Structure 1
Amino acid sequence: MRIFEIQYCRDPHLALLMNKPEGYFPGETLVGKIPVEGTLTGSIQLHWVDAHNRLVADIPLIFNQAKNAFSFRLHLTSALTVFNRLLCKINNEAVAENEFLITPIDKSWDDFHAVTWASYPLGCAEKLAEYGIDGAVTYSASVRNHNLKQFNTTYIDQVAPKAFSWYHRNAAKMWVYDRQPYIDFLNKKAKTDPYFSLPISSLLTRQHCLSEESTRKLIADRMRQTVDVQRKSAPLFFNIADEIGIADQAAPFDFCFCPTCMNQFRQWLRCKFITLDALNQTWESHFSLWDEVFPMTTHMTIQQNKGRKRKNISSWMYHRAFMEKSMADALSFARDIGRSVDSHGRFGTTGLQAPNAFGGWDFERLCRSVDVMIPYNMGNNFEIIRSLNPDLITMSPYFGNSPVLIRHMWFQLFHGDRAFIFWDNHEKDGALLTLPDKRPTYRAKLLGPHLREMQEGIGRMIIHGRRLEDKIGIHYSQSSIHAHWMLENAALGEAWIRRSSADEFIRNEFRKRRESLVFAIEDTGRQHHFRSYAQLKIQGLLPAREKIFFMSGSVCFSESEALAVEKYVREGGIVVADNLLGLFNEHGVEQKEGRLDKLFGLVRQSGKPSKGNIRLTPHAAGLGIMGKEIAFPASERLKATSRAEVLGKSGSSDCLILHSVGKGKTVYLNFDLQDYRDVRHDATHKAGNDLRKVLEALFILAGIERRVGLEDRNGSHVPGLETVCFANQDEEYVTLGYTHPPRLEEGSLGGEVKRFLLKPYDVSVPVKVTFPKKAHLYDVRKHSYLGFKDAHTFTFKPLEAKIFALLPAKVQCLKIRAPKTIHVGHSCVMEVSLVSEGRTLSGHTLHLDVYSPAGKWIYYYSQNITLNGHTGTLNVPFALNDKKGRWKAVVRDVQSGMTETAFIRLV
């Protein structure tokens, strides 16, 4: 048995020793002793006290006269908190204590949490719990962090930021030591020699290059040290680093050209090209040895392609892809090191950007490199993450105290979040409590009631539901993101280097195109998922999984992706493209014809298309697209082949080209979607209505009916309202909330981007919701039964979110079997059953609130459970120092709102 010295002792003649300083698991036995020096007079007691100051147990002491020591054994069966203390008293005066951790065996993340990025002093947990906060950030230095002493829920922040986010944490230094020297060099050397290479290695070497062995050692040392210290505290996750990036988040910069990076890059290229001749042919280069291979920088690529009829950006694209691989590999390496120390730990990263050409933001790679992501909701990154890795856990960060946050929180819960993080550095707009008086701020009063709702069972109900989608696939193409960046920004010349991470988001036409498609699909009442380039290559496309597949902005993709799409169409799938489809091959070399032009039944023509709206032909009505025209101009000059149907024309350009191939069809829109995101809030806008009309026709063609009908009092479209549906066994939950509205944004290059303010969704709207079937309908948030029906009419308020439960049977009551009397220090076990009419309802979520004899809500006894069938067990481990008297337990079925109360007398 190993003994260690106490950490705190008031009496130098008394020590409190335990056998396992690293901590315990529930069910283990704590063995210890209290050596005595000299003579003790009076009584001695030993108490087990937890983080809530509950007296869990009085520990019997046995005196060994020969060793002049007290010994004790404590079986750890009633742990409620991770942090615990042994407190020794003589004559009722505390003389020694020691701390120990009890690590939960079950580390599943099956309930909703809200944590704060702040260090509130001890004694704040109870007040924060009243406003829905159940955890806090902590750091790697010590497992005895005071936040762990009051919260069971913590996460470990910033384990290895030096390797992953040095440039964000040192943004000013980046300008001085990296960007400005490069700009100065471009202004001199590049004027006379645009294809320079040798000096670049020193100018474009990343601090802590992710390919360097020294960086890997830095990551490994930090991960091992931190995880070893903190694993017994059972954190929600370890945050490897915040706001990562190859440079400063998504800011464009040509890192990294250091010798180590280039050597690994060449090895990777050998696997891609096999022979040097193949690389030279693709890159249009003349390397004689593999050791000479050197990619073009952004500046070189822009210069080389000026005035070229067909562009070649292959060298630059391969370097961008390699840097994305480097970032993902480094994160995977950090996670693997963490798992080697804590096999049950979760490892993630926070402050994620949108998919982008710079910074390492290839989400196909990133989604397989970590367990947890906390993205800033931008550029559809949440939808991409849940699509590419459904098992990955997401959370959202929140800043400030705007009422709009209420809308965002419900939106994020419906879109897969299992927790929220609240930035709270005790600023005026960010603090939740004032200090030292612990008074709730406006922010706490604003957001607290909603967080309490989510924590009192709604979050768990949604987490345990299975999200329902509509077999609508969207192509996620990282190579197209690369190609679009060069097409959009080559005209900037050398000014590209001055773009910030914010510019990369704001001035990004490809991102707007993707957002517009996603919003338009959601505005027709359907849900979707993304399929990545890797998934197409490995798994292909199946008509049974994707009835329709959109290739929006897919300007560059691989031959394997093209073959998968062709096979999918022949087998009965429908593929829809907007424009510029496949004009670059997988290497980034522009082609005369698009790779899938033949599949789509079109021929490209030279010249610019007409600027007028697209006129609909009689064939359009056959597809269900009614009217004379749609308010979009043609994007390209195209001619349909003889076997294709032309549903629209703009001058001499064919649009809405419908082509039958095998059992399937293709549709080439030949118009640009990117402005829809800015007009969707206006129900009267013709272009918005026209796009929804076209998509509705395509979904009907694919056999995808709207799952939930949604209309205003006039039967018209309701802007911005989204329905997300979940299934739980034979029940369905329908959620309704506003999507993120557009807003004005500004980038570092100056100038206002044309977007709209937050006003469109700030009005109450009478709406009618039509459900998939007749069912016993419940308004979950109002705890009310609405009847056996398939439709419901109500007024939707600006900051509201609705959750409807469609149950196959009406809930009659809850039954609780609980002891009428129980002794302090004993657990109160309550058997609960859900009674319904006609059939058994199973898998429901129950919430328990416990109140003391004085009527005080005891937050740490409150809990959620998921019923096994229609029954379940609730356990309240009363402490020895809990107040005696009449306690109240209130149990609520979350889906129906049905409640039942039990009274227990504590004696």
Structure 2
Amino acid sequence: MRWSLLFLASGGLLTCLPAAEDPYENYIRTSEDFRAVKQDAAWARKAWPGWIYMPWTYQWGIGYDDASGKWSRDHGYNGAFIDHDHIGTAQSKTGRLDWINQHGLRFYVDHVAGKGVLHLWDGDKVKPHLNEVHGTGLRPAPLNADTFAKLQTVMRRNIAASSTSPMRAAYALDDEPSWGHFVHPTMWQVTDDASAYPRWLATVYGTDHVPKRDRWISYEDLRPKLAEWNVAEFDASPLMDQWTFNDAQWCNFIGRLVEHANTLDPATPCGLVGGQAPSAFGGYDYARLMRKVQFIESYNLGSSQAIIRSFNPQGALPAVTTHFHKSVNDTIWQTWYYLAHGNRGHIGWVEGWFDGATSREWHAQVAPALREAGDKVGPLMAGAQWRHDRVAIYYSHASIQLGWILDAEAHRKTWVNRNADERLASAAHVRRAWENMLRDSGLQYNFLSYVDVIQKGVPDEYRVLILPACLCLSDAEIRAIQAFCRSGGTVIADYLPGVWDQHGRGRAEGGGLDDLFGVKHDPKMRQADIFGGTLWVEVDQDANYSWKTYREFLTNKNTCILDDSGFHKAVRTQPTNQVKAQGKGRAVLMNLSPQWYNAYREAGFEAAMKREVFMRHVADAGITPWVRLANAGEREHGYEITYWKLPSGRTLLYLCLNPEIRGTSLGGGNSVGLKSSTLPVNLRFNKPVQHVRNERSGQELGNGKEFILEWKQHEAVVLSFAEDSSS
């Protein structure tokens, strides 16, 4: 067997389920592409036991001595960082590992697989290579046996040099890795094994239905056809199959490197840092990627943090994000917000932290929050399980891919320059709108991936399944969604659900879920029949490439039909807000995009109430918040409550602010429009809770349904309690 078969071909069974007759379903159920690496919760917690702040010390101006160690601990920086060039021979120069051990700082090792292979071309070095990136050739560092062997050698050296420390917490293979360059539009093939792609196609389509692929194509081969095709003629499969194949190759390669790291150091999780937004490019199909890592730092772009939390098995894996200091209040807010959402710490960008060898005074102002997170509240999260309100948001990576294809048409031939996809993409804005409509309604959710739904169906723990811009659905997914609905669930789709299949081919008979929703999507539909009538999507993203506000983004050069509800209609000739009973359940097709909610939320409390056109269907399914702020208005607008079930049986609750968040492909998850007032709030439960304790102050608050608290909006209220089972 050729080495490439080890990570390309169908492999050992993932479940005891029988092989499906549907080749794609069989592929999802049985392929090596979806086999998870070791992801044991107790094992991961032993290496990474709590909330850890790890400064990325490239501009560390205070040295590595007793004074700097004490300064770190005193200011809540209870972790550290080692790069590949800080170990081995360089170690004797810096004393970095001795300093870490002496002061008890948990650390991760960056670039443990070196630099220049998993991440290509730093900074401006990419510019001479843009023709390669946009071309249909071969990745300069192809995924093959030679590349794997090269990285093995680097990993053996780096892991051997750092695994002697009892303070090691994780290994990162590389920073901002990608099968392309970040998530920049990249068209090349990732492996030089000419037989790999045909073999993979046979696995996905079945040996009797392999499509003819006589050459590797680019988006430019597809783009001119978008204005001509109707749905029945539409076929993006030659391009989407290439991207999916690259994702499969890449994620399997990452998984093999992670497992190699485990052979060198069985006690320490391995993964990557600098993760990007879910994207058509770079290997960021999180349904695949989260099965192949044991540790991840990802920037909070395109809902990545909530997706990672949802796909993190039992919260087992340490997941963190980057911290960039912008202001004292923002840093304090980030500490509480990310802790409240299940993160296990921060990797801090140490730029502007010091004035020569003197630390800037803001460190003393943020230190109490960092110490409290690391020493008091963070340890409470050990073994905690996220609690949701029986609502799932569907994660369809094929729809993200097709979304990019439709979005990028507006750029015409300048699509090669498209960057910052997380702030442009229809898929990202629709996801964000749904998330915030739920959060602002007092509800929590999980993302549910296409892989899990095909392998296991929609779990019984959910009562509502939301399909956000789920343009592409396979027959296997459609069967599972129909079964969920007919057995008593509520399915809510915004627009064009399953009108294309998982390969990006338009369905000749109409939408795959048309029977469920009781509608008919005409297979002769063209761009002229959708949204503004000039593109397949809601917004001309070329005209709005540098948008500043959501309202500007949605109104500039836009000819969409604005429904009476205040949201854009998708299929121009179809009615909106259609509800159909199905077995014991209900199916709701809005035929509206929720994107306008991003603008309404930005406008304030009253405008944000327009979400009720979507949220009433969630409420009709019996989903109502069980804890809210009573009489909340403009001052409290944007608040969020998260809750966790502790191993003790108690519930841990956070009240925090959920403002807009901005970052870039180089990091960040900073707040926009952060409030910092101190408010008296009335936290009201639907049923009495018992033995309520303020975990920050230690105050015992007793039993009851209502609790008057003081909330600093850039911090968090943290309570724990037992629920009254007799109520």
Q: TM > 0.5 between the two? A: yes
* Residues 1:577 and 2:487 are matched in the alignment: no
Kindly provide the CA deviation profile for residues 244-290 of structure 1, in whole angstroms up to 9, marking residues without a partner as x.
Answer: 112221111112266x154321221122234476413xxxxxx6xxx
Greater mean deviation of Cα atoms: 554-563 or 108-117: 108-117
Equivalent residue letter for 2:151: I
Name the structure 2 match of 1:383.
Answer: 306
Task: Give the drift of 1:157.
Answer: 1.2
- Closer, same or farther: CA 808–487 of 1 in aligned 2, 3 Å: closer
Name the structure 2 match of 1:722.
Answer: 640
Asked if structure 1 preserves the Cα contact closer than 8 Å seen for 2:567 and 2:593, the reply is: yes
Kindly provide the CA deviation profile for residues 770-791 of structure 1, in whole angstroms up to 9, marking residues without a partner as x.
Answer: 1342323332223323343321
Name the structure 2 match of 1:30.
Answer: none
Name the structure 1 match of 2:325.
Answer: 400
- Closer, same or farther: CA 725–164 of 1 in aligned 2, 3 Å: farther
- Once residues 586 and 713 of structure 1 are traced to their aligned partners in structure 2, the CA distance between those partners, rounded to angstroms, is 42
1:631 to 566, 590, 606: 566
* Residues 1:128 and 2:72 are matched in the alignment: yes
Name the structure 2 match of 1:617.
Answer: none
Higher relative contact order (CA 8 A, sep 6+): 2
Name the structure 2 match of 1:418.
Answer: 344
- Once residues 551 and 229 of structure 1 are traced to their aligned partners in structure 2, the CA distance between those partners, rounded to angstroms, is 48
* Residues 1:769 and 2:683 are matched in the alignment: yes
Name the structure 2 match of 1:113.
Answer: 52
Task: Give the drift of 1:110.
Answer: 2.7
Name the structure 1 match of 2:706.
Answer: 791
Task: Give the drift of 1:349.
Answer: 0.6
Name the structure 2 match of 1:175.
Answer: 127
- Closer, same or farther: CA 609–531 of 1 in aligned 2, 3 Å: closer
Kindly provide the CA deviation profile for residues 209-249 of structure 1, in whole angstroms up to 9, marking residues without a partner as x.
Answer: 12x22211122111222222322214100111001112221
- Once residues 448 and 703 of structure 1 are traced to their aligned partners in structure 2, the CA distance between those partners, rounded to angstroms, is 43
- Once residues 181 and 618 of structure 2 are traced to their aligned partners in structure 1, the CA distance between those partners, rounded to angstroms, is 41
Kindly provide the CA deviation profile for residues 797-819 of structure 1, in whole angstroms up to 9, marking residues without a partner as x.
Answer: 3322111222579xxxxxxxxxx
- Please state whether the residue corresponding to 2:578 is helix, strand or coil: strand
- Please state whether the residue corresponding to 1:493 is helix, strand or coil: helix
Name the structure 1 match of 2:446.
Answer: 529
Q: State the TM-score, normalizing by the size of structure 2.
A: 0.80
Equivalent residue letter for 1:405: T
Equivalent residue letter for 1:418: R
Equivalent residue letter for 1:393: P
- Closer, same or farther: CA 164–701 of 1 in aligned 2, 3 Å: farther
Equivalent residue letter for 1:414: A
- Please state whether the residue corresponding to 2:300 is helix, strand or coil: coil
Equivalent residue letter for 2:681: V
Kindly provide the CA deviation profile for residues 168-205 of structure 1, in whole angstroms up to 9, marking residues without a partner as x.
Answer: 42x423221x214777xxxxxxxxxxxxxxxx66xx32
Task: Give the drift of 1:699.
Answer: 2.9
Task: Give the drift of 1:164.
Answer: 4.5
1:651-666 equivalences in 2 (<5 Å): 653-666=574-587
Name the structure 1 match of 2:506.
Answer: 590
- Once residues 791 and 357 of structure 1 are traced to their aligned partners in structure 2, the CA distance between those partners, rounded to angstroms, is 46
Name the structure 1 match of 2:96.
Answer: 147
- Once residues 170 and 178 of structure 2 are traced to their aligned partners in structure 1, the CA distance between those partners, rounded to angstroms, is 20
Equivalent residue letter for 1:267: R
Task: Give the drift of 1:107.
Answer: 3.5
- Once residues 484 and 595 of structure 1 are traced to their aligned partners in structure 2, the CA distance between those partners, rounded to angstroms, is 17
Task: Give the drift of 1:126.
Answer: 1.2
Kindly provide the CA deviation profile for residues 590-613 of structure 1, in whole angstroms up to 9, marking residues without a partner as x.
Answer: 1241100111111236674899xx
Asked if structure 2 preserves the Cα contact closer than 8 Å seen for 1:506 and 1:747, the reply is: no
Name the structure 2 match of 1:488.
Answer: 407
Kindly provide the CA deviation profile for residues 363-422 of structure 1, in whole angstroms up to 9, marking residues without a partner as x.
Answer: 011101110011111111111112122322201211234121211111100111112221
Asked if structure 1 preserves the Cα contact closer than 8 Å seen for 2:172 and 2:271, the reply is: yes
Greater mean deviation of Cα atoms: 260-269 or 451-460: 260-269
Q: Percent identity among equivalent residues?
A: 22
Kindly provide the CA deviation profile for residues 522-570 of structure 1, in whole angstroms up to 9, marking residues without a partner as x.
Answer: 111111111111111100113x221010111000011110111111112
- Please state whether the residue corresponding to 1:786 is helix, strand or coil: strand
Equivalent residue letter for 1:397: T
Task: Give the drift of 1:735.
Answer: 0.5
1:20-169 equivalences in 2 (<5 Å): 107-118=46-57, 120-123=63-66, 124-140=68-84, 141-142=87-88, 146-151=95-100, 152=104, 153-162=106-115, 164-169=117-122
Name the structure with the higher strand share.
Answer: 1
- Closer, same or farther: CA 218–679 of 1 in aligned 2, 3 Å: farther
Unaligned runs of 5+ in 1: 1-103, 184-199, 281-286, 288-292, 612-627, 639-652, 749-755, 810-907
- Once residues 458 and 519 of structure 1 are traced to their aligned partners in structure 2, the CA distance between those partners, rounded to angstroms, is 26
- Once residues 475 and 162 of structure 1 are traced to their aligned partners in structure 2, the CA distance between those partners, rounded to angstroms, is 35
* Residues 1:215 and 2:151 are matched in the alignment: no
- Please state whether the residue corresponding to 2:691 is helix, strand or coil: strand
* Residues 1:319 and 2:235 are matched in the alignment: no
Asked if structure 2 preserves the Cα contact closer than 8 Å seen for 1:114 and 1:419, the reply is: yes
- Closer, same or farther: CA 106–257 of 1 in aligned 2, 3 Å: closer
1:251 to 167, 174, 184: 184
- Closer, same or farther: CA 136–406 of 1 in aligned 2, 3 Å: same
- Please state whether the residue corresponding to 1:232 is helix, strand or coil: coil
Asked if structure 1 preserves the Cα contact closer than 8 Å seen for 2:659 and 2:674, the reply is: no
Asked if structure 2 preserves the Cα contact closer than 8 Å seen for 1:681 and 1:760, the reply is: no
- Structure showing greater radius of gyration is 1
Kindly provide the CA deviation profile for residues 326-380 of structure 1, in whole angstroms up to 9, marking residues without a partner as x.
Answer: 2211211111111111122210111111100111111011101110011111111
- Once residues 577 and 274 of structure 2 are traced to their aligned partners in structure 1, the CA distance between those partners, rounded to angstroms, is 40
* Residues 1:231 and 2:149 are matched in the alignment: no
- Please state whether the residue corresponding to 1:225 is helix, strand or coil: helix
Unaligned runs of 5+ in 2: 1-42, 533-562
- Closer, same or farther: CA 370–609 of 1 in aligned 2, 3 Å: closer
Name the structure 1 match of 2:609.
Answer: 689
Asked if structure 2 preserves the Cα contact closer than 8 Å seen for 1:111 and 1:418, the reply is: yes
Name the structure 2 match of 1:29.
Answer: none
1:509 to 426, 432, 438: 426
Name the structure 2 match of 1:675.
Answer: 596
Equivalent residue letter for 2:266: S
Asked if structure 1 preserves the Cα contact closer than 8 Å seen for 2:473 and 2:497, the reply is: no
- Closer, same or farther: CA 435–760 of 1 in aligned 2, 3 Å: closer
- Once residues 348 and 520 of structure 1 are traced to their aligned partners in structure 2, the CA distance between those partners, rounded to angstroms, is 32
Equivalent residue letter for 1:179: L
Asked if structure 2 preserves the Cα contact closer than 8 Å seen for 1:209 and 1:261, the reply is: no
Task: Give the drift of 1:165.
Answer: 4.0
- Closer, same or farther: CA 608–588 of 1 in aligned 2, 3 Å: closer
Equivalent residue letter for 2:125: K
Asked if structure 1 preserves the Cα contact closer than 8 Å seen for 2:567 and 2:596, the reply is: no
- Once residues 601 and 341 of structure 1 are traced to their aligned partners in structure 2, the CA distance between those partners, rounded to angstroms, is 56
Name the structure 1 match of 2:462.
Answer: 546
Name the structure 2 match of 1:359.
Answer: 282
Q: State the TM-score, normalizing by the size of structure 1.
A: 0.65
Greater mean deviation of Cα atoms: 297-306 or 595-604: 297-306
- Once residues 673 and 106 of structure 1 are traced to their aligned partners in structure 2, the CA distance between those partners, rounded to angstroms, is 39
* Residues 1:294 and 2:219 are matched in the alignment: no
- Closer, same or farther: CA 680–766 of 1 in aligned 2, 3 Å: farther
Asked if structure 2 preserves the Cα contact closer than 8 Å seen for 1:110 and 1:464, the reply is: no
Asked if structure 2 preserves the Cα contact closer than 8 Å seen for 1:683 and 1:717, the reply is: no
Asked if structure 2 preserves the Cα contact closer than 8 Å seen for 1:741 and 1:761, the reply is: no
